[in-house]
Structure 1
Amino acid sequence: MKDGLCDGERIELEGTQIAETISYVYLGRSLNMDNDLKEELGRRRRAAWAAFGPLREATVQLTDHELSAHLFDSTVLPALCYAAETWSNTAATLKSLRTVHRAVERCLLRYKQHTQLQAGLRSSDLRRITIQRNTYRKLSTDGPAI
Structure 2
Amino acid sequence: MTDTEKRPPGAPDLDARYGRGQRSRRLEKRILWSLGGFIVVVFAAWVILVAFDGDGASLETRDVAHTIVDEHSVEVSFSINVAPGTPTVCAVQALNEAHAIVGWKIVEVPASDERNRVITEVVRTSEQSNTGLISRCWLP
| TM category, shorter | under 0.3
State the structure with more CA Rg: 2
Q: What is the TM-score of this pair, normalised by structure 1?
A: 0.27
Q: What is the TM-score of this pair, normalised by structure 2?
A: 0.28
Greater fraction helix? 1
Greater fraction strand? 2
